[in-house]
Amino acid sequence: MNTAKSLSLALIASCLMLASNAFADGSTKVNVTLWDKGPAAEIKTDMGMGMAGDHSKASMGLKLSKDHAKAGNVTFEVKNSSKETVHEMVVIPYPADGKVPYSDKDSKFDEDAAGHLGEVSELEPGKSGSVTLDLKPGKYILSCNVATHYANGMWAVFTVK
């Protein structure tokens, strides 16, 4: 085998090893599905965290492949499974007082005041995206912050240990 071919094979093998070990260094991959019951579903405005509504009756939500991870890099692989609605996924720290800074006027929460850590921006129906964040131990909220979606139940708590 000639030297150039040996070097090429060694480079390819190294790249494959790096790719296969991407999550072996303590990183975690979490699949997130953004879902809704379609445009005909009733829009609720009281299902955000700490609001009076019954979250189990939400017509929108996030389905997580796991609700926890070890501290370190966490990659959220996000898919919008809606057939007609744009969704996003925003990561914020769990508020100490249990209240997300929600604005009834804007029908969404203030991402800056909530401590926005990262997001997968608006995804058209059927589209996917990802974000990797270095998360410390604690609780976080994953939410869609398109107007009315958070208060319609589109949020979940994620714990980092």
Domain ranges of the chain: 26-160
pLDDT band at 3 (very low <50, low <70, confident <90, very high): low
The answer to whether the beta carbons of residues 112 and 71 sit under 8 Å apart is: no
pLDDT band at 22 (very low <50, low <70, confident <90, very high): very low
CA 31 to CA 67: how far, in whole Å? 10
* Token pair recorded at residue 35: 């879902």
79-93 pLDDT, tens digit per residue, is: 999 999 999 999 999
Report the CATH fold assignment for 26-160.
Immunoglobulin-like (2.60.40)
Around Cβ 3, how many Cβ atoms within 10 Å? 7
Q: Label residue 51 by pLDDT band (50, 70, 90).
A: confident
Tell me the chain's radius of gyration from C-alpha atoms.
19
Mean local confidence (pLDDT), 10-37: 66
Model confidence at 11, pLDDT cuts 50, 70, 90, reads: very low
Q: What is the mean pLDDT of residues 60-68?
A: 97
Residue 128 has pLDDT above 60, yes or no: yes
